[in-house]
Structure 1
Amino acid sequence: MIQMCYIAFFVQELPNLRQNGTVTLDDDLAALWQDSQTLAPKVAVKAADGLLAINFSMNGVSASQVDAMLAQLDVDRPYLQRADGALIPIDDQLRRVSQALAKLRDQAKFSQGQLQVPAAQALAVRSALGQDAEFDAKFDAIANDLAHPEQFKVFGQRPVNADMRPYQQRGVQWLEMLNSHGFGGILADEMGLGKTLQMISFLNNHQDTTHTSLVVAPASLLYNWKAECEKFAPDLHVVVVDGNKTERKATIAAPADIWITSYNSVRNDIAQYANASLGYLVLDEAQFVKNGASKTNQALRKLHPINTFALSGTPIENRTDEIWAIFALVMPGFCQD
């Protein structure tokens, strides 16, 4: 291949010739070669609106040409070729950046040098790019909070009628940290360790007269949830949505801070909830929606709450696609198809 001949000439023959005398190249030949260091490949990561924007750029390469250059990095050869025909050897820095970006390109495609992934993948992005990227301050804040949720400062916390244990306080702190960045999550813990109390404390912190939060639970737990809310956060107006269709419709239409309903009922009433000003969506015993193809899971995806959290002692019982189905609700787009 003629390009390989040029590479051999510029990399091997030309340096030898210059060691033994003065070498003059005509303009056309000199234009065929560009030192890779002049490209100065740069990766910049910015966080905004729940997404990470990963930008890849090279000096002298327009945004419209960057994608083609990236595609060349997937080919097993020691050079890149610019649109004008100039050859650029792939040095260690460019190869390292290429390998880091390859891990991210499995999730999405670059468009004009930019790729977007969910912001919740901040730690994975930092691990993939390491020292080969520049991260903005908002990204650093997200990555630090995810790595050290115990350091997150919670402001405006409202008291509940309970002496919460340290691990329960940390659980609420973790929920608040996730919510501050627009992330949902799965609070997974053994039965009897206070997942309900932690979630009630979180909902109490976010009482909002313009939105109603929705707790979906197995039918046997509806009134237990109501009793726990009345015990720990009596200022919250909590109602159970049950009865026949007409009764449920009237309950949903009335003002409330929290609705509590069953998985069967929420599926049947999904159109009314979809038109409501939803606050937070809480999925208790979330293994009830572990089948992503089920009618209930599909119906819940039609809702647009401020954020969604799941509670479960068994987020995975048999297959990893069970946790995928739950994450499809709590953080749409976080897990790839």
Structure 2
Amino acid sequence: MAQALLFSLIAAGLLVGALWAFRPGSGWYWRGQTQLEMTDRVRTEDAVKHIHLSNLRGLQPTLESLAGALQVTGNEAATVAQSLTQFGLAELRDGQLHLQPRGVEAALHIIRVHRLWEQHLAEGTSVSEGEWHAQADRIEHQLSPQEADKLAAQMGNPLRDPHGDPIPSHAGSLRPQDGLPLSSVAVNQSCRIVHIEDEPVAIFSQIVASGLQPEMELRVLENSARRVRVWADGCEHVLAPLLAANVAVRPVEVLAQEVAQRPLSDLEPGQASRVVSISHACRGLERRRLLDLGLLPGTMVYAELRSPSGDPTAYRIRDTLIALRRTQAQWVRVE
């Protein structure tokens, strides 16, 4: 009797477990299936994005390059390519992948969402620059075209992302990327940065750490096999040639009038100076806060007193006393 009861309890437990695992929509099995479908969809979307971006850069996408972009084996890349063909997104000819119109449309949507989200993070949040790309890589698979249009409208339909890349329009058009590598610019040539390549991430991080940003104007001081030195944002920047090759610039006739600059943080109590600019490296909420505090070009700033610990420092702007930490005051360039 006890044994029969035990068997009944085990059977009941197995039945409840099966119902729990296979219940429609939220059971373990169905969640696993949904995750599998999501993974397949993400790989498909990443694949069309890779093919389209390769074409834009003048490269020929192959199964090998697709495997590298998706971080999968060659066999898995071949499976993805076969799926693209079955869904009418791409075709494989002579060992090279070519997008069909549907594939181009899908790729442009993914690229549009990615770049819009990076612009949102740069201008509307305090998320660090090093996190923009990874977050956009996730969000690009989640927003619908309608949600992307709403996001774009909220930001005033920006034309470029924070790296200078053109953002595809609602209609699916994409302006060509212009500019030439900084590594090819002659000494004493004046330029404006139009784009900073955000991949590979390791190289992008080093460029960001150097302080260079899109829209900065610069003058080349040295261009050798060892290094590229430029004057930008009131100070000197040094890049390895490999890094400089990932910075696209457009020559300009003459730089805006060069004024000897220093960071506001260099002012000692009792000193005063006039604001020249806020560094292009200062973005989003932090930049908005400095502007709201009145740190506009031409404004006189007086360093009044400094904390006994050395940070923060109190500055007077138009009869208003404000406190800025050294890391904040370094963004403000003064004469």
TM (normalized to structure 1)?
0.26
TM (normalized to structure 2)?
0.26
